[in-house]
Each structure stands twice: as C-alpha cells, then as structure tokens.
C-alpha cells in the first residue's frame, strides 16, 4: 500500500486532526435500488468494517456501472485508535472480505470489485476541507496519463512510419541519379 501523505507543512503528526480516504467500489444491483435507506446501510457496513463511527462515512456519489459508489471514510485523531490507516485497510484482502460480507448483510447486494483508493487527504487542526495535503496516487490523473501517453506515442510512431514510407516510395519512382540518359520511346511513325 502507498505510504500515507505527510502532514501539512509546519504540522507535526500530533497536529493531524483527520485523514480522509476517498474510495470507490462496484456493487451489484441497479441504480434505482440505492435509496437513502440503502446508502445509510452501506455507510454502516463501511464504518463497521473500518472501525469508525457511521457519521465518519460519507457517500460521495452513486452512478451506474452495475452501481459504482464513491465514499469517503474519515479518520479523526482521538476517535480512531487502530495503527493501520484506512487507506491501507481498504487494500487488505481480509478487510475487503469483511467489507463484502458487511455490505451483503446490510444491503443484500454483492460487492463486485475491491475498493480503489482514489485520494488520501490529511488535515491539520483548524484546516477546512480542500486545504489539506492530498495524495491522489490512484485517481483519474494516473488513469489519464497511463492511457493517453501510450496512445500519443503510438500515433507519433505511426506518423513517423508513414513519412519514412512516403520518402522511400518517392525515391523508388525517381529515375536513377548520375545523369544517365532516359530511354527515348518513339510516339509517331515517320
């Protein structure tokens, strides 16, 4: 698992008030099934699995993909006593199995993917959301870069290959160099 991000500049680890871990999972079912009651049940399952209060789990989005749910689990200093951070827990196979069992018990739906940690944000005491140090090792930026860069490289190589072929083809069609006389072909009778 990736290391947790460092505390904000000038803050010691004791100053860290909370760490927010945003993750996404794919769960069976249809989008219409995910009423407020179902969302509450999912929050309870995530909280129970991670050992944090339900009020520290926020459902950020629910979109179609089977059902892709993004949630944020908030680890608050003084409330959370486990030495393993939430991001590391979400990547632990035993925790993922427990999360799957808890989701099925609470909602009746099946976890179809392992959680993908999208961002980890660390906030010092007094910092508001959006001011913390954020680490997005698994977010869309990595996906875009890991997809777009190879495509651009292939396009460039294809363009270079086409240019080399065009030059080769043109040279093949030109008369021999060296001032040789071209063959005269009569076109009319005398």
What average pLDDT does this structure show over 12-29? Answer: 80
For 32-64, the pLDDT digits (tens) are 989 999 999 999 999 999 999 999 999 999 998
Tokens of 129: 């959301």
For 134-178, the pLDDT digits (tens) are 444 444 444 444 455 566 666 667 778 778 877 777 777 766 555
Q: How confident is the model at residue 107 (pLDDT cuts 50, 70, 90)?
A: very high
Q: What is the dihedral of CA 82, 86, 88, 94, to 10 degrees?
A: 80
């Amino acid at each position: 698992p990736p290391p947790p991000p460092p505390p904000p500049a000038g803050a010691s680890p004791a100053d860290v008030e909370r760490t927010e871990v945003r993750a996404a999972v794919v769960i069976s079912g249809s989008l219409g099934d995910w009423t407020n009651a179902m969302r509450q049940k999912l929050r309870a399952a995530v909280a129970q699995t991670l050992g944090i209060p339900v009020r520290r789990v926020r459902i950020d989005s629910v979109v179609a993909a089977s059902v892709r749910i993004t949630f944020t689990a908030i680890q608050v200093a003084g409330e959370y006593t486990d030495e393993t951070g939430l991001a590391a827990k979400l990547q632990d196979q035993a925790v993922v199995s427990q999360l799957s069992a808890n989701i099925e018990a609470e909602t009746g739906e099946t976890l179809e993917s392992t959680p993908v940690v999208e961002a980890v944000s660390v906030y010092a005491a007094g910092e508001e959301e959006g001011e913390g140090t954020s680490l997005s090792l698994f977010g869309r930026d990595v996906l875009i870069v890991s997809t777009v860069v190879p495509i651009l490289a292939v396009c460039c190589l294809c363009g270079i290959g086409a240019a080399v072929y065009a030059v080769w083809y043109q040279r093949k069609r030109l008369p021999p160099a060296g001032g040789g006389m071209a063959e005269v072909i009569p076109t009319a009778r005398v």
